[in-house]
Chains A and B, each alone.
Chain A
Amino acid sequence: QVQLVESGGGVVQPGRSLRLSCAASGFTFSSSAMHWVRQAPGKGLEWMTVISNDGNYENYADSVKDRFTISRDNSENTLYLQVNSLRAEDTAIYYCARGTNNWWYFDLWGRGTLVTVSS
């Protein structure tokens, strides 16, 4: 079954860190660029970061640059997002999504993992 399954969310205090995971199955993970997109409660989608299929290139939205790090393990078919120095405004559902051949549209999404930043 072709799917993405996120995990690692939860309630975390401001200033702390989390590592989110996205397990891929049913397709050749190592052939796809991957993205993280988040959605604050009741708000719209926000693109955050992309990583190339081989992990050698990554880029970030200005809003998360220097605090978030994307990575992947193609041997484990898993995508990661390290989120540091969390702030209340980082509270959101975090989705991983598969980029297509040209990277810039997403044909497969996970169900998301909720991160709540609260003291």
Chain B
Amino acid sequence: QSALTQPPSASGSPGQSVTISCTGTSSDVGGYNYVSWYQQHPGKAPKLMIYEVNKRPSGVPDRFSGSKSANTASLTVSGLQAEDEADYYCGSYAGSSNLVFGGGTKLTVL
């Protein structure tokens, strides 16, 4: 149950797009379409932003989108806004009733 690999940091200016990657293996990200993404502001609980690779829960802006290719999932934030500055975590089902998270990416809006 090794953690998924995310870049520690990402940044962009307001209005720009940023993509955060999440790399696993064929036993987790590559093996299932159960990849999710969570946003966490300092001192707050995580919030679901994307589920099943590319689906958005009600209330999440369509500026947030997800995709997957082989063992790597990606979260793209378009039209960056100041409130998007937060930590982002990917999560994936890893078989045998286990789940694994990524190490997290700190997104900075310049």
Contacts and interface: CB of A to CB of B under 8 A. Distances in A.
Nearest to A98: B48
B101 A45 contact: yes
Contact of A44 (B36, B52, B96, B104): B104
Contacts of B1: 61-63
A102 B97 contact: no
Contacts of B45: 95, 109-112
Interface residues of A, number: 23
A46 interface: yes
A102 B34 contact: yes
B91 A105 contact: yes
A106 B99 CA distance: 11
Contacts of B36: 104-106
- Interface range for B: 20 to 34
A95 to B, nearest CB: 6
Contacts of A111: 44-45
A47 interface: yes
A114 to B, nearest CB: 11
Interface string B27-56: 000000010101000001111100110000
A82 interface: no
B48 A44 contact: no
Interface in B7-25: none
A100 interface: yes
Interface in A87-119: 95, 100, 102, 104-107, 109-112
A43 to B, nearest CB: 8
Contacts of A62: 1
Contact of B99 (A95, A104, A110): A104
A25 interface: no
Interface of A: 35, 37, 44-47, 50, 57, 59, 61-63, 95, 100, 102, 104-107, 109-112
Given A45-B38, A106-B36, 17 more contacts: A35-B99, A44-B89, A44-B103, A45-B46, A45-B104, A47-B91, A47-B98, A50-B97, A59-B98, A61-B98, A62-B1, A63-B1, A104-B91, A105-B34, A105-B91, A109-B46, A111-B45
